[in-house]
Amino acid sequence: MHTPPPTNTPDHSAPTPTWTVGGLTLHRIDETPLPPETGPWLLPDATPDLVAQHAWLRPHFADPEGNLRLHTHSFAVSLDGLRVVIDTGIGNGKTRANPAWHDLRTDYLSRLTAAGFAPEDVDLVILTHLHADHVGWNTRAEHGSWVPTFPHARYVVSRTEREFWAGYAMDEPRRQMFRDSVHPVEEAGLLDLVDVPPQGADIAPGLRLIPTPGHTPGHVAVELTSQGAGALVTGDCLHHPVQFAHPAIGSCVDIDPVQAEATRRTLLSTLADSKTLVLGSHFAPPTAGRLTTHGAAYRLTPLPPT
């Protein structure tokens, strides 16, 4: 995609947005809003006319003209002292074909540290999939080289995901992403490949990977549970809440669009009318909410952070 860099920036002086899930505190670590041109490229079937039909999307998830709002952030949570980061965004100083991602200079690491997750203290990094806007802060520049940002963490990705890309005929931008954000973690011996069966894989008490293939073959969502409460971090099996109302709307970069739609429909039917907190990896603030049945499909009732 060719879009200009974002012209609006989040308020970095604001407290870290958090949600309580049982005994857990889930933090959103902001990186950057995405420019308005992202929506028509990423979800071309989500036209302004269609989006405008759903008043509940405004003002948070769409503007008055029906243009989608999208965002890039990570989530961080402490599980019995285990400090976990879910996805690592775009990263700073990375060479990217997408101008909105190219050579960023954000204070993401400062915000992560302020939330209580200094890079050297992070124990576990969960990667929902291996796309450039989810792995960028895997590494940071140091003395002219890319080194793991979280030197004491295990980086976890599904085995299916890593093996798919190992056999994929990558173009140069994707090869560059692997060189600067995946290979250094592998070379440091920090990347763990995990088998994720249909019923999911328990990674730690209260943390489970749920297979959600289609966007990529090994894509996972992340389920968190505590004291009878639950939350689900979507990754890119869902990019925007308009897909709740129209599950057939897919992303232009879905590897398997048919599988991606089937995954969405199954996941949404499971989440609807439950008390599970749904947190979108690209949902604009307030980012989280609960899913309810709405006619023949669904809608998200936002739950603002505390």
- In tens, the pLDDT along 175-220 reads 999 999 999 999 999 999 999 999 999 999 999 999 999 999 999 9
| Token duo for residue 295 | 């006619």
Give the CATH superfamily of 18-302. Answer: Ribonuclease Z/Hydroxyacylglutathione hydrolase-like (3.60.15.10)
- What does the pLDDT look like over 19-62, one tens digit per residue? 999 999 999 999 999 999 999 999 999 999 999 999 999 999 99
In tens, the pLDDT along 143-154 reads 999 999 999 999
Lowest mean pLDDT among 13-22, 156-165, 206-215: 13-22
CA distance 235 to 239: 8
Contact call for residues 86 and 75 (beta carbons, < 8 A): yes
Domain positions in the chain are 18-302
- 245: pLDDT strictly greater than 50: yes
> pTM of the full predicted structure?
0.95
| Per-residue CA distances from 189 to 128, 149, 153 (Å) | 19, 13, 10
At 277, list the tokens: 């907190």
